[in-house]
Each structure stands twice: as C-alpha cells, then as structure tokens.
Amino acid sequence: MKIKEKGSLSPESEPENNFESRNKFNPEPVGNNKLLLFAGAFLLAALVLVYFLFFNKKNDTATVESKKDTVSGNSSADLLKNRELDLKEKELELKEQELKQQKELSDKLLNEKNKTQSTNKSIPSGNKSGIYSQASERYLTSSDLIGLSQWDLKIMRNEIFARHGYIFQTDEMRNYFSGKSWYNPRYYDVNDMLTKVEKENITLIKSFER
C-alpha cells in the first residue's frame, strides 16, 4: 500500500499540476498586445498625417496653378490692350501724316495758282477791261479771230498794251483809248509786263491782220 501511494498520483492533485504546466508554457501576452496597439495607433496617425499633407499640398498646387492661370490671363489681356493701343496710335500717326501731306499739297497747289494768277495779272483786275479782255486772260484760237474786221483785230491787239498802261504814240490809238474809263497811261514800254498768254495772242492776232 505504501508503494502504491508513492508510485501513483491522486486524482485531486492532477488538475493542479496540469494548470501549473499550462501557465508555465503558455503565459498571457499582455505586453505584446500593448505594443501592437501602440504600433497600430502610430501607423494610423502616420497615415492621417500623410493624407493631410498630400491633400494640402495638392490644394496648394491647385491654388498656385490657378493663380498662374489668372496671372497668365491678366498678362494676355494686358498684351491685347497694349497691342490695340499701339494699333490706334499707328492709325492716328498715319492719319496725321495723310492730313499733313494733303495740307502740303493744297498749299502747293494754292501757291502755284497764286503765282499763275499774279503772272497773268500784271495789272490790277479793275484795269483789265475792254471789249476783248479775253485776249489777256486765255490763249486765243483761230475761231476767236475769224470774222473780225481789221479794225477789231487792231483794237484787240492794242487793248493788251492799254491794259498795262501803255502810252500810245499814234493819235488814232491815243484818242481811242483816252476815252476809256479803265485806261490809265503810265508807261512808254510795257513789253516786260506782258504775260506769256498775251504775247502768244499778240502774235496770233498779227497773223490775221493784213
């Protein structure tokens, strides 16, 4: 009986020995669980931080690009305005040049007209009178002279000299023109006062006189 007691195990002690054995080889992982929770929380915080940083950076990039687009749009608008202003200034300059050229041309034509008139009018216009005043105003043609008598041709030719104040040497012409209100005898020689038109007409009239 003693040998049996020493060599056998009682049922009451077996469960206690089994519990101690399980605790010895499988202790509860309390420290490991805390470490995993801390690591998970850190990872989650890191992910949240990375997300916000990326999101904010994306927003900043979009804002910068939007500002760039706005600045670029403003720059394009300014360039267009500047080009329009340049075009308007060039148009104004061209118009001013055209007006200046037109004015210069008008002045030139007016001066030439005045010179021609002064050349053709060596005597005051009030003295330019007579029956055949056209002989001092324009070139005569054969049709102007055909049909005129010798006396008419003579008067026409001498009227040109009389308008310049020529003092006639013959009694016939002196008596004729002295009765004209517009005749003012002043010079013995008026050849230098004759215009080109008058000289040409004198030659033409003489060719019809016999």
Q: How many CA atoms lie within 13 A of 194 on its CB side?
A: 19
For residues 115 and 117, what is the distance between their CA atoms, to the nearest angstrom?
A: 5
pLDDT given for residue 5 in this prediction:
47
For residues 48 and 124, the model is more confident at: 48
Q: What is the pLDDT of residues 31-65, one digit of tens each?
A: 677 778 878 888 888 888 877 777 666 666 666 66
Query: What pLDDT does residue 98 have?
Result: 83
The tokens describing 29, both together, are: 């992982």
Contacts of 182 (CB under 8 A, 6+ apart): 126, 127, 128, 129, 130, 163
Instruction: Write down the pLDDT at residue 158.
Output: 95
Identify the pLDDT of residue 72.
60
Instruction: Give the model's confidence band at 90: pLDDT under 50 very low, under 70 low, under 90 confident, else very high.
Output: confident
Spatial separation of the C-alpha atoms in residues 131 and 180, rounded to whole Å:
11
pLDDT in tens, 145-191: 999 999 999 999 999 999 999 999 999 999 999 989 999 999 999 99
Per-residue pLDDT band at 132 (split at 50, 70, 90):
very high
Count other C-beta atoms under 10 Å from residue 189's C-beta.
Answer: 10
Q: For the chain, give every domain's residue range.
A: 36-120, 124-208
Q: Which fold has domain 124-208?
A: Methane Monooxygenase Hydroxylase; Chain G, domain 1 (1.20.58)
Residue scoring higher pLDDT (151 or 115): 151
